[in-house]
Each structure stands twice: as C-alpha cells, then as structure tokens.
Amino acid sequence: MEIWRRLKFAFRRREFESDLEEEMRFHLEMKAQKTGDRDQARKQFGNVGILKEVSREMWGWSTIERLFQDLRYALRQLARNPGFAAVAILSLALGIGANTAIFSLIDHVMLRLLPVSHPEELLVIRRHYSYPRFEELRDRNQAFSAMFGTHSMSGMEVKTGDATSRVAGELVSGNYFSALGVGATIGRMILPGDDRAAESGPVAVVSHAYWKRAFAGSADVLGRKIQVRSGMGDADTYGLDVYDAGHHASAEGAVLTIIGVAPPEFFGDTVGTVTDIWIPITMQPAVMPGRPFLTQKYAQWVNIMARCKPGVSFEQAHASLDVTWRQIITDAEGAKITETRKREIAGATLLVDSGEKGFGQIRREFSQPLLVLMTVVGLVLLIACLNVANLLLARATARRREIGVRLSLGAGRVRLIRQLLTESLVLAILGGVMGVLIAFIGARVLIAMLAGVGESISIPFETDFRTLGFTMGISILTGVLFGLAPAFRATRITLAETMKETSRGAAGAGRVGAAKALVAAQVAVSMLLLIGAGLFLRTLYNLKTQDVGYNPDHLVLMRVDPVGAGYRGDEVGRAMQSLLDRVRIVPGVRVATFSENGLFSGTESGAGIENVEGFTPSSDRDRATRYDQIGPQYFTDLGIPILLGRDISERDLPGAPRVTVINDTMAKFYFKGVSPVGKHFTADKVVLEVVGVVRDAQDHDFRAEPVRRFYVSYFQPIDGITTANFEVRTVSNPGSVMAMLRTEAQSFNRNLPILSIKDIRELMDADLVAERLIAKLSGFFAALAILLAAIGLYGVMSYAVSRRTNEIGIRMALGAGASSVVAMILGEVIVLIGAGAVVGSVAAFGLTRLIESFLFGLTAADPISFGAAAVLLLVVGALAGYLPARRASKIDPMIALRYE
Amino acid sequence: MRIEIPPGTLYMLILKTLARYGPMHGYGIADQIQQVSDEVLQVEEGSLYPALQRMLVKGWVLAEWGQSENNRRARFYRLTAAGRKQLAAEISEFQKVTRAITRVIQPA
C-alpha cells in the first residue's frame, strides 16, 4: 500500500508539488491576515525552498533524485574536460579490462563447479590406473556411493556416412551419468547395463553442442549409426603388452548407435575441454583396435572419479580409500611379500583432489600462473587508480573556487563529497564498460596463448553475469578508491582561503606534495612489476636456451602408430626399420632415427630395475628408472655424445644378446666410478648387458633434473611397442621436408596412422605454455605500468614547472643557464623515481620469494632483473621529466616576472 | 512562553487534533494546537508540512481540496482508520513514557 502511494507520488509529482506550493501560499496568507504583518509572517515561515525539499524527502525519492542530479552534473563536468576524461577512462579501461580478462579465466579454470548435481560430493583420484585396478577399487571401496572411470580421446575419428571428422570422445563407465546426476535431453544416457562385458554395449551419447553441429539438432539422431576409432589416446600407456595374438578386432573401429543427447550445460568432466561423444568404457578394445586395454594390468589409462556417500566427509573418504588401496596392493604382492614392501605399503596413499570442479589437468597446470597474473593485473589497476587519483587531484585544485563558493553558499560537505565521488564513479563505470570490451579481446588472446601448440583447450569467454558482476564490483571499488581521497581533500577548504589566494598561490604546494607522493607510489608499483617481468622473461630465456643435450635446430618429429596399422610383434620393428630406410633418403633429410617415446612427446616409460650388478638398493625408490626403446644410431644421429662403449646398432635384433645403453646419471648412481660397460641388470624380467654410456639429455622436460635413464633396442623391446617417433634432422628449414615425410609414410603403408609431424621447437614450446604466458603477459603489463607511471610523472612535473614559473624566471634573471634549470628539474624527477624505485625494490625483495618456484636458472633476488628494472625506470622517467624541464628552461625571465 | 514540541509527539498532536475536530487544513491544525495548548505549543511550519507529507506516505491521513472558512481553496487533511489506530498506539506509548518519567522525578 505504502509503496503504491510512493509510486503514485513519483509519477504525479508535478501535481503534488503544485499542491504543496498552493497549500503553503494559503498558509502564509492566513498567517499574514492574522498578524497583519506580511514580512513578519514570511520571516517566521522560513525558507520555502528548503521546506519544500524536506517535505518532498518524506516520500523517499530524494536519494535517487539527487543521484540523477549528481550524474547529470558529473557528465557535464566530464564533457567539459574531454582530454582529462579520455586519459582517465582509458587508464581505467586498461586496468579493469586486464583484470576482467584474467578473472574470467580464473573463474572458468578454478572457480566453476561441474554442472552436475551435488558436485561437492565428488572426489578425483590423480593419475591413471589400469582397468583391472579400477574394477578392484570400485568393487572394494566402502566410502563411495559410486565410483566411475573415464578415458578421454581428444582426436577420435568419427565416420558418419561418408564423412570423417575428428572429435573429442570419452570412454565412461556405465554408471557415469547416473553417478553425476546428468539426465538426457532426448533419448537416454549410458546406463550401468551398457558396460557389463567387453564390447557388449555398442552405444553412444552425443553432447548437445555436437548434436546441433553435426546433426542439426534433429530428433532422428537417435538410432543413427556412427563408426569411431581412436589411436593412442592421452593416457601414459607405458608397460603395455599388445602381443595379443588371439584378438581379432576390426581395425576399422567400433560401430555405435546413438542413444541420447546430453543436456546443453554439461560440457564434460574436465575444465577447459569439451566432450562431444561418450561411449561405454567396455567398448575400448573396439574403439582402439589392437589395444585390448581392459584386461591389461600394465596399461595405465583410466581416470577415476567417485561420489562420497551422504554424510561421509572428503577426509573420511580419502582415509577409507587408502585402506582399500593398501589391501589391493598387498593382495597383489601375494604370499612372498617382504617386510620392506609391507612397510612401504603401510605408508602408501592415493593422491586425491576434490572433484567438484572435475578432473583438474588444466587447473593444476595453470592455477598458480593465473594467480600470479591476477596479482600482476591487480597492481596494474592500482597504478591506473593512482593515475586517475592524481588527475582528480589536479582538477580539484582547478575547481577550488567553485567548491569554495558552493561550500559558502551552504552546500554540505557530505553533499559535495558525494558529488565528487559520483564523478569518479562515473569515470570508473565508463572505464569498466570499455574494460569489458578490452577484456573480450584480451581473453581471446589469452586463451589462444593458453592453448599453446596443438593442444585443444576450450574455455569460452562469455560476458556472463559472474564476469560482469566482477567487473562492476572492481569498477565501483576503484571509483571509490581513487575518488575518496581527492574528494576529502578538495572539500577541506574555506571560502576565505579560496578568495584570498591568487590562482597560482601557495595553496598549490600541498597539492604538488600529494601528487608527487602518488607518482612515487606509481613508480614503486611499476618497479615491482618490472622486476617481476624481468625474472619471468629471464626464466623463459634460460629454459629455452638450456642445453638439452642435443641440438634442437632443424629437428622434426614424426609420430606414427604401427600397432594401429596392424603390425604385431617383431613385425613392428622390421616395418619401422624399412620406413626409416625410406625416410633417410628423402631429399633434405640429413640424418634420421626413431624411438618409441620420442622427444618432448608427453609419453614416458618407467621401470623398477632389479639385480643391478654391484649395487644394493635401500628402497624401491633406488630401483626407479626411466627408459626408452630406440632405433639404430640413435645417439650418433641426435648428436648425444657417447661417453663409453657403443651406440645401439642395426645388429641388436631379436635373438641377439639383450643390450642397453645408460645415461651418465644412471652410470654414476649405480656403478660409482666403475665402468658400467659389461655390467648387467634386470628390467621387466629381462637381463640386459650395458654396452654404452651416453651424456645426459633432457628427453621430455626442461625443468626436471636429469633422471636415471636407460635405452634398449627397438628391436629388442622389453615391454612391447605402441608407437614410433622418427627424429629427423633436416638440412635446412624443416617446413618443406615435413610434407615429404608425410607422403613417404603414406606411400610406405597407407593404413599407417600418422599421429603428428612437428618441429621439436613446437613440442618444446608446448612444454613452456605456462612460462611463456606469464613471461609475455607480465612483460606486457609492466610496459603498460611504466607507460601509466610516465604519464603521471609528466603531468606532475608539468604542473610543478608551471607553478614555479615565477621562481624559475627569477633564477634565470639572476644568471642561471638553461642547462642548470633543466638539471634542477631533472634532479627532482630523479629523486622522485629513486624514492619510488627503492620502495619498489624493497617490496620486490620480499614478494619475489613467493614466485621462486616459477623461476629457473636465477634466484628471486636476481641482480640483473633488479638492475635492469631500475635503469629502465630511470630512462623512461627522465624522458617523461625532460619535456617539462626543457619547457622550464625556455622561460623568458621578463615574461615570468610579470606572470603573477 | 513558547516551548518546542517534544520530539516524536508532533504526529500524535496532529492526529489527535484531526480526531477531535474533523478535517482541517495545515494552517488550521497549527493554529488549533497553539490555541488548545494555551499558546504553549507552537507548531513550526518547517516541521508541520514534512510531518503531513510523512503521514500521507504512511496512509494515516488523506488530503483533499475544499473550501476554507473564508471561501479560499484549501487542502484539508482527514484521519483514516489507520491514522486512528496509530493515534491510539501513540497515546498509550506516550502515557507509558510520561508515567515512567513522573515516577522518576517525583519527590520521594
């Protein structure tokens, strides 16, 4: 009711106003009639204007009215100073835009929950597991209402009719959708009955987006048949046995019937990736011909997620899971379990993460870099705020008279502060609106950088409510932040002061002091950002120029899938040797060899070795090694120096003595000082004789310390071969050779899947995505910061010079030369920068420790980064200060003296 | 001597005046309160009109234009049912407070 009366007032306020006016006129006349003194009556009545305003306030609309009044006034003020408005809004837009862009990524990568029911109950087990292990865990665990496995296949081939395309497929347990609580848009989802036995459920569920894209959203998608096939997938499928002669799956892949469409919001279970097709996990052998993983104990390929029973906490579930896990691995040891092993198992634990945000590959990789970047852009925004605060301060000085007059005419200080704050909020919100546009472009660039090379990361940047809310929030926060102090300062004056002072009087002194403090603060924050950027850039440089043990120039890696082509057993090695012979004579190829895991491929093999001659391991950890299976002349062709003995050769064939070449780290660890050549050890039940020692090389990683690594002949594999990576050294630019390599491989066997052909630099870059992202962006933002600081510095010094025109004129009249005036002004600039730089360095000294783990080849107190930042600041600062200094030196004493 | 109307009691005084004498215009209300209180209470115009507006918002009174005693157009305020309820509430509250104050200040 009351609200209705208020609304009526709002819409018919003209009528209400005239009513009130007439009523008061009547009152006044009655009063005058009674007393007979019109003037006396009016005096008693008081200020009609104020009375009307107070009466109006009773209706509760005045706050909004005043806001509109203030807004109109603020916009008028800004329109009157377009230059000021443009600089202020642009500074803020850059700051806010950068923050919004990074926030939208953080939101998607780190904050969003999976679009499933009760995501907080989910738990993810890190790493991959074999299918039998997964089944054991699933069947024996106590703490979960459901446990399910998945395996994603990013480049799965799909044939619909004649068309073949590559999509993101995922193998999932039958209980996947029911456990997540995701229902079908049409049709049905995969059900527990679909994964009962191997290859028993030839069905598929498609995503809403894929349904729209590939089937035009038509309902007759249900019942359609598709043929799918996948190569290696993404799992580190090391140690897996593919010599499964009894298996006769069609190399064509699996034919599946589409049974349902997922809801539009369900993108999958992994942040940053979008799944197109889900298939029952038991269809794996058919989907990946030649790789019957379901029964393999050594193929580690299943991701595991589970839903805690209601009332079971994450910690309880983890503890219970560990108990189950220890039982499983104890049982696997059998009766001959040693005491050492028992003790080891007692301490065994599974690494788990909360599953509310899904599988967290990207989150783990990018969380920290994104937080570092959020800090960086936060600092940039701080600099932008300081800049705008400085501009506002300057303007407040220009408006001293206006404010003084308004105060003396009875405007309340609070009212004036509110007016000034409204102006800064208008600036901030305009900056925010522009910031969203900048963020929209910026986020695209960022995502492209995140995606790196060849990886498909899809993070949609949408201007959704969360992001817009964040932008709105920081805009208002910044508006208050940079507006409050100048507003308080500006209204702390009396009319008497204003009237007394001349336009360039003493009152400016305080303002210059405050402005200089703000600029020094900007310099300090810029210094911090510059040092950070220096550290990150130097880290990237150190990583990129690190000696990996071989020359990465003109080196091409071609990855093929001989198993997918149907080769089995010793055929694999023979076929790859034949292909190598053909690759070696391709024009432009200098040398070529091959290995199973290749270089920087993301695939790695590991083994616990036994019976090392002359070495007694003190724990399992001492037995851990990495290995690769390599083609002939591998080290010679790659240029990795052989320190002792010989390379693997064409004669290390099946049936010949089993040999191995070990790296320097491994030689030193196991054979301390004794020549390892001729010594033996056992890997995966195969006794190997060491025939050579090679220098350490970084096979897969820039950062890792050299690990113990041994190499066996590709023709004498110890665990079966899954792929071949050809390392091809070209004479010149590899671009043209890559195309010929593809043709050659296809003409060799057109059924041989070519998984990729890439310059190793591309693969290496993919390993440095996070480092490059941080280095580039922190460099970019440091440049932005220094630009903003330079603008601030220029503004302050210009103002200081104009204020001292008179003084400088006198100095020059007394004989000071132009150069000494320039020196005087520049001296002030340098003091200002020096003060800021010192503060910034001290802050950096404390803060850079926090990013120590990101650095490589330098310490957090790297003198080069600190020094370079200081020099850069001084140079840019001196340039910004030089223009006002030169203007000062051009002052004509005669004019200056008359200036006042 | 004129004293200021104790804060918070103006609504009560206006409501009571309207309840006792029927619809009245603003000037009449102020005049009436002054007279009835033997010139002790003077209603300032600066408080009267904001108070009347507030009472309109609250729905305690209604305003309508009519003829004044000297045939001028004047705005008359009339008590509503809600206003009557408010008056009762304010009076009982006021009496409670005055009794309490009296107890405190009366000689032992």
- The domains found in chain B, sorted by start residue, are 10-105 (1.10.10.10)
Q: Inform me whether the pLDDT recorded for A454 exceeds 60.
A: no
- DSSP assignment string, A645-668: E----TT--TTSPPEEEEEHHHHH
Interface residue B107 vs chain A (CB under 8 A): no
What is the C-alpha to C-alpha distance for residues A119 and A357, in angstroms, rounded to an integer? 7
- DSSP assignment string, A560-590: E-TTTTT--THHHHHHHHHHHHHHHTSTTEE
User: CA A688, A691, A695 angle in degrees (round to 5)?
Assistant: 110
CB A122 within 8 A of CB A354: yes
Shortest Cα distance, chain B CAs vs residue A491, angstroms? 29
CB A774 within 8 A of CB A538: no
Residue A730, Cβ neighbours under 10 Å: how many?
Answer: 24
What is the C-alpha to C-alpha distance for residues A772 and A832, in angstroms, rounded to an integer? 33
Give the tens place of pLDDT for each residue, A716-761: 988 767 789 999 999 988 888 999 999 999 999 988 888 889 899 8
Closest chain B residue to A55, measured at CA: B50
User: CA B36, B40, B46 angle in degrees (round to 5)?
Assistant: 95
Cβ of B49 within 8 Å of Cβ of A55? The answer is yes
Look up the ipTM and state it.
0.85
Q: Which residues pair with A260 in a beta bridge?
A: A187, A205
Among A173-182, A618-627, A829-838, name the one with the lowest average pLDDT.
A618-627
Average pLDDT over residues A769-785: 87
Smallest Cβ–Cβ distance between B27 and the set A9, A19, A26 belongs to A26
How far, rounded to the nearest angstrom, does the alpha carbon of residue A854 sit from its chain's CA centroid? 14
What pLDDT score was predicted for residue A506?
46
CB A478 within 8 A of CB A377: no
Instruction: Locate A63 and state its tokens.
Output: 């706050």
Give the tens place of pLDDT for each residue, A129-169: 889 999 999 999 888 999 999 998 877 889 887 787 888 89
Instruction: Locate A200 and state its tokens.
Output: 């028993």
Sign of the C-alpha dihedral computed for residues A525, A526, A529 and A531 taken in this order? negative
Give the tens place of pLDDT for each residue, A665-682: 999 999 988 899 999 999
Smallest Cβ–Cβ distance between B27 and the set A31, A46, A60 belongs to A31
What pLDDT score was predicted for residue A735?
84
What pLDDT score was predicted for residue A509?
55
What is the C-alpha to C-alpha distance for residues A420 and A406, in angstroms, rounded to an integer? 13
Shortest Cα distance, chain A CAs vs residue B107, angstroms? 40
Cβ of A23 within 8 Å of Cβ of B56? The answer is no
Those of residues 56-85 in A touching chain B at CB distance below 8 A are: 56-60
Between A617 and B105, whose confidence is greater?
A: B105
Q: Percent of chain A, pLDDT > 70?
A: 93
Give the tens place of pLDDT for each residue, A554-571: 999 999 988 878 888 888
Instruction: Locate A414 and state its tokens.
Output: 């609070």
Q: Inform me whether the pLDDT recorded for A530 exceeds 50.
A: yes
Q: Inform me whether the pLDDT recorded for A327 exceeds 80.
A: yes
Cβ of A55 within 8 Å of Cβ of B53? The answer is yes
What pLDDT score was predicted for residue A239?
38
Sign of the C-alpha dihedral computed for residues A52, A54, A55 and A56 taken in this order? positive
What pLDDT score was predicted for residue A29?
85
Amino acid (1-letter code) at residue A282: T
What is the C-alpha to C-alpha distance for residues A874 and A303, in angstroms, rounded to an integer? 53
Q: Which residues contact A719 (CB under 8 A, 6 or more apart)?
A: A238, A239, A240, A241, A298, A605, A607, A684
Instruction: Locate A262 and state its tokens.
Output: 């997922």
Smallest Cβ–Cβ distance between A1 and the set B53, B54, B59 belongs to B59
Between A836 and A365, whose confidence is greater?
A: A836
Between A45 and A851, whose confidence is greater?
A: A851
CB A184 within 8 A of CB A120: no
Average pLDDT over residues A232-260: 57
Q: Inform me whether the pLDDT recorded for A812 exceeds 90.
A: no
Across chain A, mean pLDDT equals 84
Q: Give phi and psi for A225, each to the nearest 5.
A: -105, 135
Shortest Cα distance, chain A CAs vs residue B54, angstroms? 5
Average pLDDT over residues B29-37: 89
Query: Does the predicted model carry a pTM greater than 0.80?
Result: no
Interface residue B75 vs chain A (CB under 8 A): yes
Q: Give phi and psi for A520, each to the nearest 5.
A: -60, -40
User: CA A531, A534, A538 angle in degrees (round to 5)?
Assistant: 145
Q: Looking at beta carbons, which residues of chain B come within 8 Å of A2?
A: 57-59
Highest mean pLDDT among A80-94, A844-858, B73-87: B73-87
Q: Looking at beta carbons, which residues of chain B come within 8 Å of A5?
A: 56-57, 59
Interface residue A23 vs chain B (CB under 8 A): yes
Give the tens place of pLDDT for each residue, A187-236: 999 999 888 888 888 999 999 999 998 899 998 999 999 999 886 544 44
Instruction: Locate A464 and state its tokens.
Output: 């959704």
Give the tens place of pLDDT for each residue, A682-705: 987 889 999 999 999 988 888 878
Shortest Cα distance, chain A CAs vs residue B44, angstroms? 8
Interface residue A31 vs chain B (CB under 8 A): yes
What is the C-alpha to C-alpha distance for residues A431 and A383, in angstroms, rounded to an integer? 14
Shortest Cα distance, chain B CAs vs residue A374, angstroms? 49
Interface residue B25 vs chain A (CB under 8 A): yes
Instruction: Locate A547 and state its tokens.
Output: 């000696």
- The residue among A702, A766, A699, A736 whose CA lies nearest residue A556 is A736
pLDDT band, residue A459 (cuts 50/70/90): low
Between A606 and A840, whose confidence is greater?
A: A840
- The residue among A517, A508, A438, A458 whose CA lies nearest residue A485 is A517
Cβ of B45 within 8 Å of Cβ of A44? The answer is yes
- Helices and strands (DSSP H and E) totals, chain A: 28, 21
Amino acid (1-letter code) at residue A431: G
What pLDDT score was predicted for residue A576?
94
What pLDDT score was predicted for residue A751?
83
Q: Inform me whether the pLDDT recorded for A249 exceeds 50.
A: no
Size of interface A-B (CB pairs under 8 A): 68
Q: Percent of chain A, pLDDT > 90?
A: 30
What is the C-alpha to C-alpha distance for residues A324 and A302, in angstroms, rounded to an integer? 18
- DSSP assignment string, A416-448: HHHHHHHHHHHHHHHHHHHHHHHHHHHHHHHHH
Interface residue A20 vs chain B (CB under 8 A): yes
What is the C-alpha to C-alpha distance for residues A597 and A592, in angstroms, rounded to an integer? 15
CB A134 within 8 A of CB A304: yes
